[in-house]
A and B are shown apart, each in its own frame.
Chain A
Amino acid sequence: METLWIALSAALAVGIPAIATAWAQSRIGTAAAASLAEKPELGTTMIIMLAIPETMVILGFVVAMLIMLRGGGG
């Protein structure tokens, strides 16, 4: 039973930030596509902007790994 809770916690730790990242990236992607149509030179900036919300899911992944390891589920 404990393993189930550990697995569920790890899944939530990475899953919820993943949804948040996806939502943020969808908004940034839309704005980026519109901006790039007018200013193609902004390409690099836009790629970096798209990478910024990935911090959430990356940190979520790190937390999930720690939950698995500390909880003995890994």
Chain B
Amino acid sequence: MILEMSRIRIMGPREALEPMLELLQDLGVVHLVPPPATGPLAPAALTPAQERRRRQLRRILDDLSAARTLLQLPAPRVPARGEPAAASVSDLARWARLARRVHREARRLAERTSALEEERALLLKYRQAFAAFAGLLPPRTGGAGFRPFYVVVQASQASQVPRIRELLAQAIGDGFEIRANPLPDGEVALLILVPAGRAPKVERLLDEIRLAEMPVPRGYEGSSLGDAMARMLARLDRIPGELDRTASERAALRERYADQINRAWLETGDALARLEAYPLSRVTPRAFVLDGWVPARLAPKVMRRIEERGGPDLAVLLVDRSLWHGEEAPVVLRNPRLFRPFELVVSLVPLPRYGTIDPTPYVAVFFPMFFGIMLGDLGYGLLLAGLALLLRRRSAPESRLRAASEIAGACAAFSSIFGILCRQFQGDLGHRWFGMRPIWFARHEAIEPFLILVLGLGAVHVVLGLCLGVIGSLRRSRRAAIGSGLSAVMVLLLVAALLAALEVLPRGVLTPAAIALLVAFPLLVLAEGLLAPVELLSTLGKILSYARIMALGTASVMLAVVANRLGGAAGSAVVGTVFALLFHLVNFALGLFSPTIHALRLHYVEFFGRFYSPGGLQYRPFAHWTPSAPGRT
């Protein structure tokens, strides 16, 4: 259901605006909205000093947030509602200095860590590459008069090594040495030693045959790879120590400033939220007016608290219901515990308007039922129940994931129930192995009864939507309510006439139903206009749309039966079992996805269409600042 809301109005001397916003922040239940700008009331604009302060607070908050991220500080405890606020930001300059200093230091340490880790990764790569040459190094490496070339030949060119030797001999004669070391991945490490005077010719040759020398890393230029490697290995040994020192410095920084940073962060956020709430008030040169929405059951308590804390100069009153429209009020959905998880399904479409109908309880009944009829298998139901349990264990209370796990649990229960009623356990396996018999009917054998069942359910669902439309319309227009009511009656009459024509109902029903339809038709046109017959036909189309439940249910059970038969036809028991399990897994995945989408669609398109009125405002009470919703809870 949608909670009833009250609008309260607070008035007082202008200098009391800031303390009043602090109090409202502590209370955390008033959704602030601008009061009507009548008479001398004008929107409260920030003074230049306040605007400067706002910008400063924003900068401080950005610095503090960045510092918190760099120092990986855990989320601080948000002050509970009604708890007195911590010390106010009395010295902005002090917070600004703290934020700047800690942010700068944390950034320096983070950059240092990042640079060291990058350097270590690079050196490790070089060490790995250089290990390929380790066994090749002759005693004269690096000796005067010789120039070493370090080359790694790709695996695809490994067979070309003798050819390279020939080309070198042709280019510079016999005065060179070449050593090869095959690497595990098929590449070949080559060390070529040539007299220094012939090095340019070798460089040209390597360039021509597209073999690149292993480059010397930045910072080690000017020396051969062999000399550079010795320095690199020494550096590699020193890096872990430097990383440890950086981590210690960061831990010390966190230890020293964590509390101050967290406190400053929350207080800065609170102060900024208060300043940003100023434009929501209306002011005269001497007074302010604030309007806000609170759940009606909390209104007396909230007004009493404001009167107690505000003193004699402050007035708080309840705005009369006749002075505001329902569309202005924010919407709070509050349902019994059993239905609450299904608010998640409703939250996927825009909120319903205040004063209209919250469809959550109906969704809680029909969504898992439709899902259950479509999946309708005891084995799959148990598997889904297991998944739901796992999801529940891994989710936080009140989270969306927890709600999803509870919805999955309800869907699993309905799937299992329909599985038992229709003798489905992994398709026809329950029947073949355990001799399960249908209590109701076997879905893949009794197509017509199944179709009649789902169309009947569709008629109930659509007519329920029309009835809710009548209730909703009664609050706005009696004529629209009569139109919705007549539509519902005519749908029922049409269904009755069709069933009588198909001899599902006694034939005697047909004539009275037809006469009633003829009488109701002109009344419907009078109430809803000339388009009413088209609407009526579209409503019948909506009922037919519920045939998808039967179609998906039959397809699911047929796939399961096919999985069992293919498994049995495999020849080998092991191969057959593995094949059948894989097929069932695919069918189960499809069985989760398709029923969810189609059950959602049946609700959003077929059911909500006649009564759901989207466009409600989200209830966002003005409260202590939290990073997820600055200025709001």
Are A58 and B600 in contact, with the CB atoms below 8 A?
Answer: no
Output the least CB separation between A17 and chain B (Å).
Answer: 11
Output the least CB separation between A2 and chain B (Å).
Answer: 20
Bound Cα distance A42, B448 (Å): 38
Inter-chain contacts of B364 with A (CB < 8 A): none
Interface: B146 (CB within 8 A): no
Interface: B548 (CB within 8 A): yes
Bound Cα distance A62, B554 (Å): 10
Inter-chain contacts of B555 with A (CB < 8 A): 61
Are B547 and A62 in contact, with the CB atoms below 8 A?
Answer: yes
Are B597 and A62 in contact, with the CB atoms below 8 A?
Answer: no
Inter-chain contacts of A58 with B (CB < 8 A): 547-548, 551-552
For A39-74 the 0/1 string (1 means CB < 8 A from B) is 000001101100110110011011001100100000
Interface: B159 (CB within 8 A): no
Are A62 and B451 in contact, with the CB atoms below 8 A?
Answer: yes
Residue among B545, B550, B554, B601 with the highest chain A CB neighbour number at 10 A: B601
Inter-chain contacts of A61 with B (CB < 8 A): 551, 554-555
Q: State which residues 419-478 of B face A: CB under 8 Å.
A: 447-448, 451
Bound Cα distance A70, B349 (Å): 41
Inter-chain contacts of B75 with A (CB < 8 A): none
Output the least CB separation between B147 and chain A (Å).
Answer: 56
Are A48 and B601 in contact, with the CB atoms below 8 A?
Answer: yes
Bound Cα distance A45, B448 (Å): 32
The residue that A52 contacts in the complex, of B448, B551, B605, with Cβ under 8 A, is B605
Interface: B348 (CB within 8 A): yes
Bound Cα distance A37, B598 (Å): 24
Inter-chain contacts of B45 with A (CB < 8 A): none
Are A59 and B600 in contact, with the CB atoms below 8 A?
Answer: no
Residue among A47, A52, A66 with the highest chain B CB neighbour number at 10 A: A47
Output the least CB separation between A40 and chain B (Å).
Answer: 14
Q: A48-B597, A61-B551, A61-B554 given. 17 additional CB < 8 A pairs?
A: A44-B348, A44-B349, A47-B597, A47-B600, A48-B604, A51-B597, A51-B600, A52-B601, A54-B598, A55-B548, A58-B552, A59-B547, A59-B548, A59-B551, A62-B451, A65-B551, A66-B447
**CB<8 Å pairs between A and B, sample of 28:** A44-B600, A45-B349, A47-B597, A47-B600, A48-B604, A51-B597, A51-B600, A51-B601, A52-B601, A52-B605, A54-B548, A55-B545, A55-B548, A58-B547, A58-B551, A58-B552, A59-B544, A59-B548, A61-B554, A61-B555, A62-B547, A62-B550, A62-B551, A65-B447, A65-B551, A66-B447, A66-B448, A69-B447
The 6 closest A-B CB pairs, nearest first, are A44-B348, A58-B548, A58-B551, A51-B601, A61-B551, A62-B547
